[in-house]
DNA sequence: TGGTTGACGGTGG
DNA sequence: TCCACCGCCAACC
């Protein structure tokens, strides 16, 4: 089990809780981790994750934008589309409705 | 121990 | 609606 006291672990746990077909913003994940203003660090942490343990592809930037994902935004988009998330160009359709908040 | 980085968010123009 | 600047926090070197 991971050390829950570490912000990184809390962020990873929060991301794992994101159900398929849903997305969360870095801010939402940070908030779920207990630090609503740590979205900056969340991005940093995600960079380290991306191994398969965490569905980091469900974490997108605010406004429905994809974000980075190591530059493979196309793959990220494909993964989300496979889960039922509709896209409008580089942005998520009905992002507000697809957005998942911790505790929902 | 200190400084820099970074898959960002929000506001202003 | 798009572009640019500033602010923020944790991890890494």
* Residues of A annotated catalytic, as ranges: 56
CB proximity A37–strand C (7 Å threshold): yes
Separation of CA A40 from chain center: 13
Q: Which two tokens stand for residue A82?
A: 């496979």
* Predicted pLDDT at A42: 94
| Structure tokens given for A9 | 């672990």
Report pLDDT digits (tens) over A48-72. Answer: 876 667 899 999 999 999 988 877 8
Residue ranges of E strands in chain A: 24-25, 59-60, 87-88, 91-92
A76 vs A4: CA distance, rounded Å? 27
- For position A2, what pLDDT does the model report? 47
- Which residues of chain A have a pLDDT value below 50? 1-2
For tokens 């969360």, name the residue: A24
In this predicted structure, what is the pLDDT of residue A27? 94
Instruction: List the A5 CA – B13 C1' distance (angstroms).
Output: 42
CB atoms within 10 A of CB A33: 24
State chain A's mean pLDDT as an integer. 88
Closest nt by CA–C1' to A8: C10
């Amino acid at each position: 089990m991971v050390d829950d006291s570490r912000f990184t672990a809390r962020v990873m746990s929060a991301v794992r809780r994101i159900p398929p077909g849903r997305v969360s913003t870095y801010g939402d994940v940070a908030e779920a981790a207990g630090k609503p203003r740590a979205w900056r660090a969340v991005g940093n942490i995600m960079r380290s994750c991306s191994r398969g343990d965490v569905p980091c592809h469900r974490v997108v930037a605010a406004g429905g934008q994809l974000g980075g994902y190591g530059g493979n935004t196309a793959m990220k988009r494909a993964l989300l589309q496979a889960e039922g998330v509709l896209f409008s160009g580089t942005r998520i359709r009905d992002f507000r409705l697809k957005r998942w908040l911790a505790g929902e």
